A = this chain, B = another copy of it.
Amino acid sequence: MSSKSPLYRKVAGDLRTAIAAGEYGSGARLPAEDELARRYGVSRGTVRQALASLRADGLVTSRRGARRVVLGGAPRLQSFGELRSFARWARSLGEEPGGRTVAVDPAEATEEEANHLQLPPGAGVFKVMRVRTLSGVPVMVERSTYPERIGRLVAAMDVDEVSHSRQLELHGVLFTDAHHTIDVASADADDAKLLGCGAGHALLRERRRSTDPAGTPVEWSEDRYLPGTVAFTVHNSVASSALGRQLGEE
């Protein structure tokens, strides 16, 4: 039982489990911070850190003067609570992820690409197109642009490699932050062929810029999903929650 993970994780994990198990029905009040601190033999600050994480995930409310209340947890689909690769996300839903690389092209970065990857205009990049499947069924076309160093690693991978991000991790390339933009796009000829829909068919589009722990951009990607196969979910709250997430800016 040697635990190398922080205490607040243990506390948060226990509370998540208890909530998931229905020990606190929807609308029930959580124990007070002091009570939890006593129960776990930790300081109140540590308990608050655990609770902040539940709050960020939209599992509980919190306001001054009243105990925290358990929110009726809707089942999560593609939650943005934490950055996760397609493969890891699929597996967490009990689906079997797949992927096949359709094209790998060295190229010079367009102005937009150079901008997103913070490279000089015309710098060398690798463009990779992949079909992603869930249990064998094509659901998404992924077009990623990588800086040269990373692109080389991707280009060397098997075309049927399921998780590029896993492989890149093994080479010391980490994806730790991402900024996503979601809207609707129209299927082009490639999309239509790969997804088996008509050209011009509307697709759910997610564009993503991922960075490593040092803040260096490592990937610029555009994913197009067949409608009905996935949905994205996000939780939100007004300014001034526990431990000061989110500011407000008016």
Contact = CB atoms under 8 A, between A and B. Distances in A.
Interface of A: 6, 8-9, 12-13, 16, 26-27, 49-50, 52-53, 56-58, 60-61, 63, 66, 69-72, 74, 77, 80-83, 116, 118, 175-184, 202-204, 209, 211, 213-217, 227-228, 230-240, 243-249
A177 B217 contact: no
A13 B182 CA distance: 27
Contact of A247 (B9, B27, B70): B9
A187 to B, nearest CB: 10
Contact of A16 (B9, B211, B217, B247): B247
A176 B61 contact: yes
A60 B50 CA distance: 22
Contacts of A6: 240, 244
Contacts of A175: 238
A179 B184 CA distance: 20
A138 to B, nearest CB: 17
Contacts of A249: 16, 82
A211 B177 contact: no
Contact of A50 (B118, B204, B244, B248): B244
A211 B71 contact: yes
A244 B181 contact: no
A179 B8 contact: no
Contacts of A8: 244
